[in-house]
A and B are shown apart, each in its own frame.
Chain A
């Protein structure tokens, strides 16, 4: 092996892939049943970059050659950079050897478009196939589908990969037209539609025939870039909601735009990465997926942006003071989940524990409730009631004064630097 050559390629092709934020390696149930290598059952983050993002997969491009010219992308045709390409075998060797040392959960393979969509997609599929069939590899494989790839290739990809993604890139079609003139939304939606029905069909088959092959068991995901175009949070989340509903997506990733190129269509190079906004979008997304919130309760025409200074659940609570206070010892799980400062786990513990007796402040605190927020919205087995007759906005002030979130503090320090 020529170490310098591989090192060079790895540096270029990992660097170019790092802006794709999907990193999750969970959601699959691939077992090691053949005394082979690996399993894909519980996503583990093996390391963290200095910016605090998790590293669970070897995330690389097969090549950064590209015939397209998307304005936000370092690999675009008109960007004057060093180009490189891995061979299929090189990617396979890296994956196996990193996996054996417990550096990674598997592979996330994406690519610039070499010649055309199918030519590129065929190579991505070949990597996955080799890993599965020649190396008995059961670790996680996520392939990024190339927009416009044929159904046959998508089908083959689904047989070897755990997850497939087609990146939407821009939340709206207009945004996409502006920044990625070579792409169109229809080309992206087509493989998503194919995957959706293929996944449903294969799951049905699997119910009937135990031996039926598994197909993209971790489903499909997508990514949208935030802050490169002027869409508001309502447009972003409505669009995410649309794709969750219509294409059964497992995840939508929100990627705060990192300025890497000077282009009159894009934010200036010294624009800071919208990290707080990105974080709020993820929180809102969680509320939609796990907490039973409808997208319109979080953002809508009269409330098109998420609050940057408080999280979306607190923000909803303050706008809906008539719902509170909620009696912790009586309310159903769905309502308890809506209380600021109470997460999924604490909510479940509360519902379980109160069968044994009514809970008080002290017990709630020990269960893991963030009382500094929750206390304004609940009553429990105690005569004290913190809210008195505070208004929503004064509660917000109290909370902000006593508990500036660590994340916010940290980014403020960063903002001050510039």
Chain B
């Protein structure tokens, strides 16, 4: 068993696949850049992400699976789930080794697992599209804080860019400490230094007055549309799990 340590990026993962074929490794175990604690006698290999190698793997892969299939792999990788990288590698190896396109072979455990991961990530992406709540700051930027279970920000860009083309916005992942900023033309990744602003919550000081009014109106609206005689808390919580509540204007 060879343990391959890489930087946790998608390119890094593809580089790992290159190494596996290059060194003809059979049984492998992937680890994301954790501090290399011990056991130097174990069979460990630090893989440095290499754009050229990653691209070669990607190119090979495009001949085996569809563009959609590659997007799905990318989405599954964003789940960043403990131990799941091995399944992604399993999937990629199966794609390379099989004689035909394997994307729909749901009887295969790697294909099935990847499709489960994709489902989870897509669901989180979809939830973020729903649960992002922008707050208008004094400098006319609409700011939203989120804490998604998976690292879905990269998957959100397209949706929000095509929806809010005429306003500046930031969606910030508090857990992973980075965000996306749209400046009316392009989007870029940013990180905010909250130490200077104070706590994330203190950003409220930068609100426009109008912001408080619309938050108030939205909360009122939310209360007015409820039909008490149909109350169904279980269904409610199934739709909006409690962990999202602290960023939802209507639930604060």
Cα A185 to Cα B217 with chains together (Å): 37
- Does residue B192 face the partner (Cβ distance < 8 Å to A)? no
Provide the bound-state CA to CA distance between A354 and B224, in Å. Answer: 50
**Is the CB–CB distance between A98 and B218 below 8 Å?**
yes
Docked complex: A221-279 residues within 8 A CB-CB of B: 258-259, 272-273, 275
Known contacts A35-B165, A100-B136, A101-B135: does B213 contact A51 (CB below 8 Å)? no
**B199 lies within 8 A of chain A by Cβ:** no
Q: Is the CB of A38 within 8 A of B163?
A: yes
Interface membership of A11, Cβ < 8 A: yes
A37 within 8 A of B: yes
Minimum CB–CB distance for B91 against chain A, Å: 14
Let me know if B166 and A136 touch, CB within 8 A.
yes
Q: Given A3-B216, A36-B165, A410-B235 in contact, is the A58-B130 Cβ separation under 8 Å? A: no
CA–CA, A45 and B248, complex, Å: 13
Is residue B188 within 8 Å, beta carbon to beta carbon, of the partner chain?
no
Interface string of B220-249 (1 = CB under 8 A from A): 111111111111111110111000000011
- Is B235 within 8 A of A52, CB to CB? yes
Interface-side segment among A121-129, A170-178, A356-364: A356-364
Q: Does B82 contact A (CB under 8 A)?
A: no
Question: Which A-chain residue is minimally distant from B222 (CB atoms)?
Answer: A47
Closest chain-A Cβ to B240's Cβ sits at a distance in Å of: 5
A299 to B224, CA, bound (A): 37
- Contact: A3 with B213, CB < 8 Å? yes
Q: Which of chain A's residues has its CB closest to B126's CB? A: A44
Write out the residue numbers on chain A whose beta carbons fall within 8 Å of the beta carbon of B105: 353, 356-357
Chain A residue nearest to B135 in the complex (CB): A101
Query: Is A66 an interface residue, CB under 8 A from the partner?
Result: no
Contact among B131, B134, B229, B236 with A258 in the assembled complex (CB-CB below 8 Å): B229
Q: Does any Cβ of A come within 8 Å of B189's Cβ?
A: no
Chain A, Cβ-Cβ closest to B234: A410
Stretch of B18-26, B39-47, B106-114 lying at the A interface? B106-114
Contact assessment for A52 and B216 in the assembled complex, using a CB-CB cutoff below 8 Å: no
Known contacts A18-B227, A353-B107; is A367 also within 8 Å of B112 by CB? yes
B194 lies within 8 A of chain A by Cβ: no
Measured in the bound complex, the distance between the Cα atoms of B231 and A272 in whole Å is 12
Task: Give Cα distance in the complex from A48 to B245, angstroms.
Answer: 12
B224: A residues at CB distance < 8 A: 10-11, 14-15, 18
CB distance from B206 to the nearest CB of A (A): 15
Assess whether B193 is interfacial by the CB under 8 Å rule.
Answer: no
From 178 to 221 in chain B, residues with beta carbon under 8 angstroms from any chain A beta carbon are: 210, 213-214, 216-218, 220-221
Residue from B129, B144, B164, B249 in contact with A44 in the complex, judged by beta carbons closer than 8 Å: B129
Q: A356 and B107 in contact (CB under 8 A), knowing A35-B165, A44-B129, A258-B227?
A: yes
Is A97's CB under 8 angstroms from B225's CB?
no
For residue B76, give the distance in angstroms from its CB to the closest CB of chain A.
16
Residues of A contacting B112 with CB < 8 Å?
Answer: 363, 366-367
Mask, A379-397, CB within 8 Å of B = 1, is 0000000000000000000
Interface: B147 (CB within 8 A) = no
Chain A, interface size: which category? Answer: 35 or more
User: A100 contacts which of B104, B167, B220, B234 (Cβ < 8 Å)?
Assistant: B167
Residues of A within 8 A of B222 (CB): 47, 49, 55
Q: Is A39 an interface residue (CB 8 A)?
A: yes
Determine if B214 and A97 form an interchain contact, defined as CB atoms under 8 angstroms apart.
yes
Which B-chain residue is minimally distant from A354 (CB atoms)? B107
When the two chains form their complex, are residues A51 and B231 in contact, meaning their CB atoms are under 8 A apart?
A: yes
Which of B108, B227, B234, B239 is the one whose CB lies under 8 Å from A54?
B239
Q: Are A353 and B104 in contact (CB under 8 A)?
A: yes
Q: How far is the CB of A37 from chain B (nearest CB, A)?
A: 5
CB of B150 closer than 8 Å to a CB of A: no
A44-B130 contact, Cβ under 8 Å, with A10-B220, A18-B224, A359-B107: yes
Which listed residue, B163, B167, B226, touches A49 by the CB 8 Å rule?
Answer: B226
Q: Is B149 an interface residue (CB 8 A)?
A: no
Q: Is A355 an interface residue (CB 8 A)?
A: yes
Q: Does B133 contact A (CB under 8 A)?
A: yes
Please measure, in the bound complex, the distance between the C-alpha atom of A19 and the C-alpha atom of B226, giving whole angstroms.
Answer: 10
Question: Contact: A32 with B162, CB < 8 Å?
Answer: yes
B132 at interface by CB-CB < 8 Å: yes
- The answer to whether A52 touches B164, judged by C-beta atoms less than 8 angstroms apart, is no
Q: Is the CB of A352 within 8 A of B106?
A: yes
Chain A 28-46 near chain B by CB (<8 Å), digits 1 or 0: 0001100111110000111
> A353 to chain B: which residues have CB within 8 Å?
104-107
| Selected A-B contacts with CB under 8 Å, 9 pairs | A3-B216, A32-B165, A50-B226, A51-B228, A97-B214, A98-B221, A101-B134, A356-B107, A363-B112
B-contacting residues of A (Cβ < 8 Å)? Answer: 1, 3, 6-7, 10-11, 14-15, 17-19, 31-32, 35-39, 44-55, 58-59, 94, 97-98, 100-103, 136, 258-259, 272-273, 275, 349, 352-357, 359, 363, 366-367, 406-407, 410-411, 414
- Beyond A49-B225, A349-B106, list 4 extra A-B contacts (CB 8 Å): A14-B224, A36-B165, A48-B235, A101-B249
8 smallest CB-CB distances across A and B, nearest first, come from: A52-B235, A51-B230, A353-B106, A352-B104, A14-B224, A48-B239, A356-B105, A52-B232
